[in-house]
Amino acid sequence: MADRQNVLRLEGVTKAYNVGTPVEVEVLHGIDLSLMRGEFVALMGPSGSGKSTLLNIIGLLDRPTSGRLFIEGHETSMLDDAALTRLRGHSIGFVFQYHYLISAFTALENVMMPMLVERSFPDAAMKERAESLLAQVGLTQWQNNLATNMSGGQQQRVAIARSLAMNPALILADEPTGNLDTKSADTVLEMMRRINVENGTTFLIVTHSNDLARRCDRTVEVVDGRMTATSG
């Protein structure tokens, strides 16, 4: 059922690999999770617990073996690949641990990219929005730098600006500060929090850092493919 305030809902989501073979392995066992608009949530768990698999399923990069997944009220199991790609482009932004900007483009162009993918031809409005997003993350003077000519912290801020380009309801961040020094990590986290408060964007942040988790609204924990605790 569509719920305006409900950005993400998982109902009994499982994920198994090598289905139907003797080496079938289930990595997620019936995950239930719900995120409301404007929430800032940490997703924790030991390595190999299924966090990344869960994040890929939520990010529509992978499909669950069973269970249902709703993004902004849209049930996704019946959608084909093209529709999933469109929904992903509109509703979800990604921030990865290793920032992954496209090195052939400048910071500004990287931020414009999701809009360019959607609308095909670049225009002034796109540029304006990208500039304002870069201003939000404090990188106006770096906007014409190629991604390769920026520090890790700067690149991660560009990645955050890029994830906001389509004004998505949900941003999935996979250890966004894992590869940064303490100062840069702090800046990036503060920035995400500010965007969360100002824009009402929901954040789901995969992290190993208890410090980061403490600064979130709540923490969900996955152990051995099961949701074990929700706190906050």
Partner 1 sequence: MNPWAPFEWITALRFLREGRMQTLFIIAGVSIGVGVIVFMSAMLTGLQANFIKRVLTSQPHIQLIPPDEVARPLRNGSGIIPAAIVQRPAQRLRSIDQWQKVRQQLLQWSEIITVSPTVTASALAVRGDASRSISLSGIDPEVYFNIVRVPDYIVAGQPRVTSEDIIIGLDLAKDLGVTVADKLNVSSATGSTRVLTVSGIFDFGNKGANMRSTFVALRTAQALSRLVGGVTSIDLTVSDVYAAETVARAVQASTGVQADSWIKTNAQFFTAVNAQQSSNTMIRLFVGLSVAFGIASVLVVSVIQRSKDIGILRAMGTSQGQILRVFLLQGGLLGLAGSIIGSGLGAGALVMWHTYMRQADGTELFPLILETRLFASAILLAAVTGVAAAAVPAIRAARLDPVVAIRG
Residue ranges that bind partner 1, judged by CB under 8 A: 56, 59, 61-62, 81-82, 85-86, 88-90, 93-94, 96, 100-105, 109, 112-114, 116-118, 120-123, 162, 166
State the minimum distance, in angstroms, from the CB of residue 82 to partner 1.
6
Measured from the CB atom, is 7 or 213 closer to partner 1?
7
Measured from the CB atom, is 28 or 213 closer to partner 1?
28
Across the chain, where does the E strand assignment appear? 6-17, 25-36, 40-44, 66-71, 74-75, 92-95, 170-174, 202-206, 218-223, 226-231
Measured from the CB atom, is 78 or 82 closer to partner 1?
82
Can you tell me the distance from the alpha carbon of 157 to that of 25, in angstroms, rounded to the nearest whole number?
Answer: 37
State the minimum distance, in angstroms, from the CB of residue 89 to partner 1.
2
State the minimum distance, in angstroms, from the CB of residue 88 to partner 1.
5
Which of 9, 10, 7, 2 shows the shortest CA–CA distance to 39?
7
Q: Kindly give the interhelix angle for 107-119 and 152-163, rounded to the nearest 10 degrees.
A: 20
Block residue for tokens 């190993």: 208
Block residue for tokens 């920032």: 99
- The distance in angstroms from the start CA to the end CA of the chain is 26
Q: How far is CA 129 from CA 115, 135, 170, 228, in A?
A: 10, 10, 18, 40
Measured from the CB atom, is 94 or 142 closer to partner 1?
94
State the minimum distance, in angstroms, from the CB of residue 215 to partner 1.
26
Measured from the CB atom, is 45 or 93 closer to partner 1?
93
State the minimum distance, in angstroms, from the CB of residue 183 to partner 1.
26
